């Protein structure tokens, strides 16, 4: 029977754990046990972070739209309600982008909603 060298799977697992922990600080990037523990926490926070990112961006868009619509004599809530009433389907992301980069176009949208 030929001789079997062991450890390839274990080494592969260790290597992948350390590869995933690349960029961590101190021993968590180089010590397998610390890296494993750090990754357990990092991956759970990564999942939460993806959900939080969506919340944060929506809040940011709301602030940008509100800031741009106030000089037009409307509030954010009234503006969104008027958009829905007029069946204008522009999402908040695009509205925020217009408010920031294309104020003239945003003004036209506001005038359309007002009248």
20 in Cβ contact with 37 (< 8 Å): no
Those residues whose C-beta lies under 8 Å from the C-beta of residue 27, and which sit 6 or more positions away, are 34
Q: What pLDDT shows up at residue 42?
A: 94
- The model carries a pTM of 0.73
pLDDT at 1 over 90: no
Per-residue tokens: 95: 């509205």
What is the domain class of 8-114 according to CATH?
Answer: mainly alpha
pLDDT (tens digit per residue) in 8-20: 999 999 999 999 9
With residues binned 3-state (H G I as helix, E B as strand, rest as coil), the percentages for the chain, rounded to 5, are 80, 0, 20
How far is the C-alpha of 61 from the C-alpha of 84, rounded, in Å? Answer: 17
Q: Which residue has the higher pLDDT, 35 or 2?
A: 35
pLDDT at 7 over 90: no
Could you state, in order of their start, the residue ranges of all structural domains in the chain?
Answer: 8-114
pLDDT (tens digit per residue) in 48-106: 999 999 999 999 999 999 999 999 999 999 999 999 999 999 999 999 999 999 999 99
pLDDT at 2 over 90: no
**H or E stretch at 29:** none
Q: Which residue has the higher pLDDT, 54 or 2?
A: 54
């Amino acid at each position: 029977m030929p001789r079997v060298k062991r450890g390839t799977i274990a080494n592969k697992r260790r290597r992948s754990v350390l590869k995933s922990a690349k960029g961590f600080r101190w021993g968590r990037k180089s010590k397998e046990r610390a890296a494993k523990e750090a990754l357990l926490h990092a991956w759970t926070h990564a999942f939460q972070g993806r959900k939080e990112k969506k919340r944060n961006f929506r809040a940011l868009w709301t602030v940008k739209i509100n800031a741009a619509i106030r000089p037009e004599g409307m509030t954010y809530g009234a503006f969104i309600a008027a958009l829905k009433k007029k069946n204008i389907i522009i999402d908040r992301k695009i509205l925020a982008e217009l408010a920031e980069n294309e104020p003239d176009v945003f003004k036209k949208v506001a005038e359309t909603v007002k009248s």
